[in-house]
């Protein structure tokens, strides 16, 4: 396959490719409200058809459908391309353009970094309808110049990524047979950071997210139905105090180690590959951007004297137990006096190998019961498993080699401390032998925030849409021939 011809075609098609992205962005696809979801699915299906997919389908689920396409290149290897076509609402304040106009803004400046020549500012640009279309654009250019793609593609675009991928497992299970033709999964995303760096991240943590609720109704003491006058505390029990005492039993006094029985039972120490990554990172890791972006002065461990321990903790430990939010009673200005009838605590934990998200809530339940809080209710919100592949997989090797051809030396992380539903591909239900990979060149950010953007033309260090698409072509081309 002649990559140079593909690159020339991508360069020549820049305006056309930008317009294809804009068309897709201008169709809102907001899964939380339903706005535009059906039209968005139909539009995406038309792109799959235009690419030349032999089979396409809008596969219904109990929620939003999965848009599915099979491109048969007659190739040896098959990649499952995991994509999302939904995005968040754009009703937050702070937008300087209309969120679904797909505005092209020139000399776009972010922070103290050199301005980008052109950025597309709109909801869904970086997360992830922009990179999705960039990937499809790259495929189009390969077909135009080489006649055929170098790998077969199983295109799976869910419409519920912003709803914790709630029906994706169902779709994957039901299509297990045909999807198991894939060797590995690739997720089209643009991964350069603001300073141009790019990172290979061959894992993600898992998550369990739940709520605790203590109420007079379930306790049998305290107000049952509504918040009452604060003066009644003298003779009426308080569900809030009960929750405070229940929570207190869950962590050490510093809040950093969870005391729930068996919490760390299945935490496996980093394996050899991970230890090597950490040892290398410990020598060079710059904690400055982490401090700045999280507005923290210090971490649980000292990053100067305990760099390796801190990195090990960061990548390879569960997050103790986190309180995401707590609320009950009067939360406004001034002095309204109330004895609240209930209090709610939102909690999560991030999971590492070999923890299972299903093991968490039974442990929380047993802990509450053991301490006499059997009335405190647990409301399961969501969960997902960790995923892990090797940086030496054919897919990651193709990605790394591609970065290097563009002059970028990638950093290597152990895993993303956030969650992505990659375990559905690497583990149950699909168990793809080649694992997963992601990350094209290019940059954008402010997902879920005002002025979300995706760089169309960069600033030299940060690449633009052309290089993004070229890297997609490069990855596919190398993967097809990688041993």
Indicate which single residue of 235, 272, 283, 409 sits in contact with its own copies (rule: CB under 8 A): 235
Q: How many residues form the binding site for its own copies (CB under 8 A)? A: 79
Nearer to its own copies, 149 or 424 (CB): 424
Does 248 sit near its own copies (CB under 8 A)? yes
Q: To 5 degrees, how large is the angle CA 194–CA 309–CA 301?
A: 80
The rounded distance, in Å, linking the Cα atoms of 165 and 182 is 20
Q: How far is CA 369 from CA 211, 260, 376, 464, in A?
A: 16, 11, 9, 55
The rounded distance, in Å, linking the Cα atoms of 86 and 32 is 9
Does 267 sit near its own copies (CB under 8 A)? no
Indicate which single residue of 343, 399, 424, 465 sits in contact with its own copies (rule: CB under 8 A): 343
Instruction: Enter the tokens of residue 95.
Output: 């937008």
Could you tell me which stretch among 21-29, 94-102, 327-335, 425-433 binds its own copies (CB under 8 A)? 327-335
The rounded distance, in Å, linking the Cα atoms of 474 and 399 is 8
Indicate which single residue of 108, 187, 209, 285 sits in contact with its own copies (rule: CB under 8 A): 209
How does DSSP assign 285-299, residue by residue? Answer: ---HHHHHHHT-S--
Q: How far is the CB of 207 from its own copies (least distance, A)?
A: 8
Q: How far is the CB of 331 from its own copies (least distance, A)?
A: 4
Site string for its own copies, 389-428 (x = CB under 8 A): ----------------------------xxx---------
The rounded distance, in Å, linking the Cα atoms of 152 and 116 is 35
Burial 443-455 (b: 16+ CB within 10 A, else e): bbbbbeebbbbbb
Does 329 sit near its own copies (CB under 8 A)? yes
Task: Check: CB of residue 424 under 8 Å from CB of residue 80.
Answer: no
Nearer to its own copies, 176 or 229 (CB): 229
The rounded distance, in Å, linking the Cα atoms of 416 and 404 is 22
Q: How many of the other CB atoms lie within 10 Å of CB of 266?
A: 14
Could you tell me which stretch among 176-184, 263-271, 325-333, 406-414 binds its own copies (CB under 8 A)? 325-333
Subset of residues 145 to 164 that bind its own copies, contact rule: CB under 8 A = 164
Q: How far is the CB of 176 from its own copies (least distance, A)?
A: 27
Among 352, 369, 207, smallest CA distance to 265 is for: 352
Does 317 sit near its own copies (CB under 8 A)? yes
Q: How far is the CB of 383 from its own copies (least distance, A)?
A: 9
Nearer to its own copies, 44 or 338 (CB): 338
The rounded distance, in Å, linking the Cα atoms of 157 and 317 is 31
Task: Check: CB of residue 79 under 8 Å from CB of residue 182.
Answer: yes
Indicate which single residue of 89, 115, 196, 230 sits in contact with its own copies (rule: CB under 8 A): 230
Does 106 sit near its own copies (CB under 8 A)? no
Could you tell me which stretch among 41-49, 153-161, 273-281, 324-332 binds its own copies (CB under 8 A)? 324-332
Instruction: Enter the tokens of residue 214.
Output: 């203590």
Indicate which single residue of 4, 15, 112, 254 sits in contact with its own copies (rule: CB under 8 A): 254
- SS3 state of residue 66: strand
Does 225 sit near its own copies (CB under 8 A)? yes
Does 330 sit near its own copies (CB under 8 A)? yes
Half-sphere exposure of 146 (CA within 13 A, CB side): 22
Instruction: Enter the tokens of residue 59.
Output: 């596969």
Nearer to its own copies, 193 or 322 (CB): 322
Task: Check: CB of residue 352 under 8 Å from CB of residue 205.
Answer: yes
Q: How far is the CB of 246 from its own copies (least distance, A)?
A: 10
Does 233 sit near its own copies (CB under 8 A)? yes
The rounded distance, in Å, linking the Cα atoms of 313 and 290 is 15
Indicate which single residue of 26, 117, 224, 275 sits in contact with its own copies (rule: CB under 8 A): 224
Subset of residues 286 to 305 that bind its own copies, contact rule: CB under 8 A = 294-301
Nearer to its own copies, 114 or 255 (CB): 255
Nearer to its own copies, 348 or 385 (CB): 348
Nearer to its own copies, 22 or 341 (CB): 341
Indicate which single residue of 146, 251, 266, 427 sits in contact with its own copies (rule: CB under 8 A): 251
Nearer to its own copies, 282 or 323 (CB): 323
Quote the crossing angle between the two packed helices 37-51 and 130-146, to the nearest 10°: 20
Beta bridge partners of 208: 349, 383
């Amino acid at each position: 396959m002649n990559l140079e011809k593909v690159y020339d075609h991508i360069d020549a098609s820049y305006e056309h490719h930008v317009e294809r992205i804009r068309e897709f962005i201008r169709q809102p696809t907001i899964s939380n409200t339903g706005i535009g979801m059906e039209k968005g699915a139909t539009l995406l299906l038309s792109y799959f058809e235009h690419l030349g997919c032999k089979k396409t389908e809008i596969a219904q689920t109990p929620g939003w459908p999965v848009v599915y396409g099979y491109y048969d290149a007659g190739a040896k290897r098959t990649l499952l391309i995991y994509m999302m076509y939904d995005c968040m609402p754009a009703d937050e304040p702070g937008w300087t353009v209309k969120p679904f106009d797909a505005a092209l803004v020139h000399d776009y400046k972010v922070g103290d970094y050199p301005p980008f020549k052109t950025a597309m500012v709109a909801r869904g640009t970086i997360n992830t309808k922009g990179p999705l279309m960039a990937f499809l654009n790259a495929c189009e250019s390969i077909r135009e110049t080489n006649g055929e793609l170098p790998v077969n593609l199983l295109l799976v675009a869910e419409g519920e990524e912003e709803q914790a991928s709630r029906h994706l497992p169902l779709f994957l299970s039901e299509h297990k047979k045909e999807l198991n033709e894939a060797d590995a999964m690739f997720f089209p995303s643009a991964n350069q950071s603001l300073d141009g760096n790019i990172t290979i991240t061959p894992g993600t943590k898992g998550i369990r997210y739940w709520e605790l609720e203590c109420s007079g109704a379930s306790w049998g003491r305290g107000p049952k139905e509504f918040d009452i006058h604060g003066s009644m505390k003298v003779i009426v029990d308080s569900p809030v105090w009960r929750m405070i005492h229940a929570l207190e039993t869950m962590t050490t006094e510093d809040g950093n180690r969870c005391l729930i029985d068996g919490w760390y039972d299945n935490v496996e120490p980093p394996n050899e590959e991970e230890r090597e990554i950490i040892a290398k990172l410990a020598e060079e890791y710059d904690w400055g951007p982490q401090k700045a972006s999280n507005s923290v002065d210090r971490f649980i461990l000292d990053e100067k004297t305990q760099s390796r321990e801190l990195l090990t903790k960061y990548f390879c430990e569960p997050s103790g137990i986190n309180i995401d939010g707590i609320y009950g009673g009067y939360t406004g200005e001034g002095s309204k006096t109330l004895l609240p009838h209930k209090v709610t605590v939102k909690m999560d934990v991030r999971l590492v190998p070999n923890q299972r998200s299903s093991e968490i809530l039974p442990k929380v339940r047993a802990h509450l019961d053991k301490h006499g809080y059997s009335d405190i209710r647990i409301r399961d919100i969501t969960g997902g498993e960790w995923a892990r592949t090797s940086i030496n997989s054919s897919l990651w090797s193709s990605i790394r080699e591609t970065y290097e051809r563009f002059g970028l030396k990638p950093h290597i992380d152990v895993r993303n401390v956030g969650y992505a539903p990659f375990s559905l591909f690497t583990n149950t239900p699909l168990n793809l032998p080649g694992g997963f990979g992601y990350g094209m060149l290019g940059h954008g950010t402010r997902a879920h925030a005002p002025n979300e953007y995706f760089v169309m033309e960069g600033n030299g260090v940060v690449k633009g849409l052309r290089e993004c698409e070229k890297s997609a072509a490069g990855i596919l081309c190398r993967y097809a021939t990688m041993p």
